[in-house]
Structure 1
Amino acid sequence: MVSPAASPALPPLAAPSRSRAGKRLSIVAPCFNEQEVLDLFFDRIEDELSRLGVDYEIVCVNDGSRDHTLAVLLRRHQSDPRVKVINLARNFGKETALSAGLDAATGDMVVPIDVDLQDPPELIGSFVEAWENGADVAYGVRVDRKADSPLKRFTAQGFYRAFNRLSDVDLPYNAGDFRLMDRRVVEVLRQLPERNRFMKGLFAWVGFRQEAIPYARPERAAGTSSWRYWKLWNFALDGITSFSTAPIRVWSYVGLAAGVLAAAWAGMIILRTLLFGRDVPGYPSLMVVILLGFGLQMLAIGALGEYVARIYQEVKGRPLYVVMDRYGFGSNEDAGA
């Protein structure tokens, strides 16, 4: 019997190469009370973009700033039309402001970046090179976070571990929003309709060819961060509930375990009464069991409430954001998305 000829091995698929020639790069920069650092940010990022030799635009989203951030942005827009400004009607939060910038960006490559310069603009050149070599997403990974406090580094690592254990989406450790995305990746992100947006998770969820670029995270160039620990806690809670049902599913197992323990405890009481012929005293232990059960019920209701609240936000169908003014886009008409 003659065995059939073995099929020739197929060569691995090579990632397509691209050229930056004739392409446009969009920078998306959410801004909230950043007047002290904006001039430094523009000086550094414009130096880097001019070195790259690409056509570019800088889309700045003023997210309801209460200082002179808008005035600084408009001054820059007047001196350089490539600086475009979206002025939101109020503070909607960074994730929403970032989404507004992505909706407005027109580039073949799009780079979200924080204006506090903890995302070094000089890394954009490495992002573009990775894109030219076929990466659809090139994201920065913070290999040195000495600028952050020990507590923040510890809690951040704990969040990444918890997220990746509870979610089906693999969130790269120490990766923020700072990245370059191909146009088709941005178009997919624009199709996602949810109001409770955890952008790091959405960036990972879309997939495509992604490449990590390591960098050392410096301190803020000026000003102070608006992120406090309570706000970071709520942000982490939004992230986990947006990509995992484990916090609510676990209560099925907790209930099962509690039922088994209760049945075992009841059996022990009955057996002890039959053998020794006396009641089992235990008012303190009874109160402990009752209070423990009540506490577990409250935790379960709280977990359920987190998901119900998010369903409530989604079904109302309100616009994700409201734009009060646009500068540099050809019209200043109010709009939402």
Structure 2
Amino acid sequence: MERLLLAVPCYNEADNVEELYQRVVTDIDFAGLGLAHEVLFINDGSTDQTGEIIKALAHKHEDVSYISLSRNYGKETAMVAAFDYFHHDAMIMMDADLQHPPVLVNDMIKLWRLGYEDVYAKRNKREGESWFKIKTSQWFYRLLGAISRTPVTPDAGDFRLLDKKVVVALRALRESQRYTKGLYNVVGFRKVAIDFDAAPRLHGKSKWSLFNLINLASEGVTSYTTAPLRLSTFLGFIVSGFAFLYMIYLFVKTIIVGPTQSGFPTIVILILFLGGCILISNGILGEYLARVFMESKNRPLYFVEEKKTNDEQRDSSR
């Protein structure tokens, strides 16, 4: 019998995990689909009762496992823990807040059995999200798609079914500065979209603050493309071109009109403009250099504080 792993990263989701599990076992027809399943909760250093509730679920239900990380590493790293644990035939990655409807998994599995290896859920609507967040997300994906050589899938997040081949490929990518939404396209494989309407969060508030979203966007650009480095080069050529044209203008003006007193505001503006261009270029170089520095340390991506799995023998041998 084919085995399916449902991986759920959690950070302060105490009000949602029990309802999520109930929806998973009632909305997904595991028996009719002929699938053995395991629900893996990755507790990403939660500070509320999420860990205790997950432990209680694992003690009560044989199909529930959990991995508790030693601190909050972020969702990207929590997903790596799920990839590392994976030893099934396919994986479903989904959020704990029930914005990803479990009933959609039934259709994902059917598409997987047709031969697709990455069945990703594409959002049509985003209930409960502000206009600003929706629009900035759209603009970001357009920008990333325009500057990247690898295709970018807009409105597609981490809610997807991944075949074993895809998970093994993703597990081989060990960079610490991760943008998993881009890595799905880096590894390739046969993909197909399935549309859905994202529901509002069941309980609580989104953990993605404006600062976190800006940081994720920065990670996405610098981890997925080297276009900003080229942009600084182009900016240097453009500034040099304007400076050369301005020099010709002053030369011709001096021949025709005669020498004139140079304007102090013009000099100040040019200095500030050139200084700004240099600082921007240095900042871009610094972002990439910082990522090289972090990768050179070769630290483990995460540490596990506690876990309970349905494959203890396998775990003890790792």
What is the TM-score when the length of structure 2 is the normalising length? 0.95
Letter in 2 for 1:37: N
- How many Å apart are 1:274 and its aligned residue? 2.4
Matched, 1:54 2:32: no
Q: Is the deviation greater in 68-77 or in 267-276?
A: 267-276
- How many Å apart are 1:170 and its aligned residue? 1.1
C-alpha distance in structure 1 between counterparts of 2:82 and 2:114, whole Å: 26
- How many Å apart are 1:172 and its aligned residue? 1.3
Maintained 8 Å contact 1:325/1:334: no
Runs of 5+ unmatched residues, structure 1: 1-21
The residue aligned with 1:228 is 209
- For residues 277-311 of structure 1, the C-alpha deviation after alignment (integer angstroms, 9 at most, x for no partner) is 22243111111111011111111111111100110
The residue aligned with 1:5 is none
C-alpha distance in structure 1 between counterparts of 2:180 and 2:229, whole Å: 22
Match of 2:64 among 83, 104, 107: 83
- How many Å apart are 1:84 and its aligned residue? 0.7
C-alpha distance in structure 2 between counterparts of 1:311 and 1:209, whole Å: 31
Match of 2:152 among 171, 174, 185: 171
In the superposition, relative to structure 1, how do residues 169 and 304 fare at CA in structure 2: closer, same or farther (>3 Å)?
same
Task: Please give the secondary structure, in 2, of the residue aligned with 1:118.
Answer: coil
C-alpha distance in structure 2 between counterparts of 1:331 and 1:132, whole Å: 29
Aligned residues with identical type, % of pairs = 35
The residue aligned with 2:189 is 208
Letter in 1 for 2:251: I
- How many Å apart are 1:333 and its aligned residue? 8.1
The residue aligned with 1:243 is 224
In the superposition, relative to structure 1, how do residues 332 and 33 fare at CA in structure 2: closer, same or farther (>3 Å)?
farther
C-alpha distance in structure 1 between counterparts of 2:314 and 2:161, whole Å: 28
Task: Please give the secondary structure, in 2, of the residue aligned with 1:106.
Answer: coil
C-alpha distance in structure 2 between counterparts of 1:251 and 1:335, whole Å: 49
C-alpha distance in structure 2 between counterparts of 1:196 and 1:178, whole Å: 21
Task: Please give the secondary structure, in 2, of the residue aligned with 1:90.
Answer: coil
The residue aligned with 2:118 is 137
Matched, 1:41 2:20: yes
Letter in 2 for 1:299: I
In the superposition, relative to structure 1, how do residues 190 and 280 fare at CA in structure 2: closer, same or farther (>3 Å)?
same
- How many Å apart are 1:48 and its aligned residue? 2.6
Matched, 1:196 2:196: no
Q: Is the deviation greater in 258-267 or in 213-222?
A: 258-267
Q: Is the deviation greater in 271-280 or in 73-82?
A: 271-280
Task: Please give the secondary structure, in 2, of the residue aligned with 1:267.
Answer: helix
Maintained 8 Å contact 1:89/1:323: yes
The residue aligned with 1:19 is none
Match of 1:269 among 225, 241, 250: 250
Matched, 1:281 2:268: no
Maintained 8 Å contact 1:110/1:180: yes
What is the TM-score when the length of structure 1 is the normalising length? 0.90
The residue aligned with 1:300 is 281
Match of 2:46 among 46, 65, 73: 65
Maintained 8 Å contact 2:2/2:34: no
- Aligned pairs for 1:151-190 within 5 A: 151-190=132-171
Maintained 8 Å contact 1:326/1:333: no
Match of 1:253 among 220, 231, 234: 234
C-alpha distance in structure 2 between counterparts of 1:242 and 1:60, whole Å: 27
The residue aligned with 2:312 is 330
- How many Å apart are 1:233 and its aligned residue? 0.7
C-alpha distance in structure 2 between counterparts of 1:335 and 1:274, whole Å: 83
C-alpha distance in structure 1 between counterparts of 2:99 and 2:2, whole Å: 26
C-alpha distance in structure 2 between counterparts of 1:47 and 1:204, whole Å: 32
- For residues 216-243 of structure 1, the C-alpha deviation after alignment (integer angstroms, 9 at most, x for no partner) is 1110011111101111011011011111
Letter in 2 for 1:128: I
C-alpha distance in structure 2 between counterparts of 1:146 and 1:193, whole Å: 34
Runs of 5+ unmatched residues, structure 2: none
- For residues 90-139 of structure 1, the C-alpha deviation after alignment (integer angstroms, 9 at most, x for no partner) is 11110000110111122201011001000111100010000011101110
- How many Å apart are 1:200 and its aligned residue? 0.6
Query: What is the aligned residue count?
Result: 315
Q: Which has the larger radius of gyration?
A: 1
Maintained 8 Å contact 1:31/1:65: yes
- How many Å apart are 1:254 and its aligned residue? 1.0
- For residues 247-277 of structure 1, the C-alpha deviation after alignment (integer angstroms, 9 at most, x for no partner) is 1111111111111111111121122222222
C-alpha distance in structure 2 between counterparts of 1:331 and 1:91, whole Å: 27
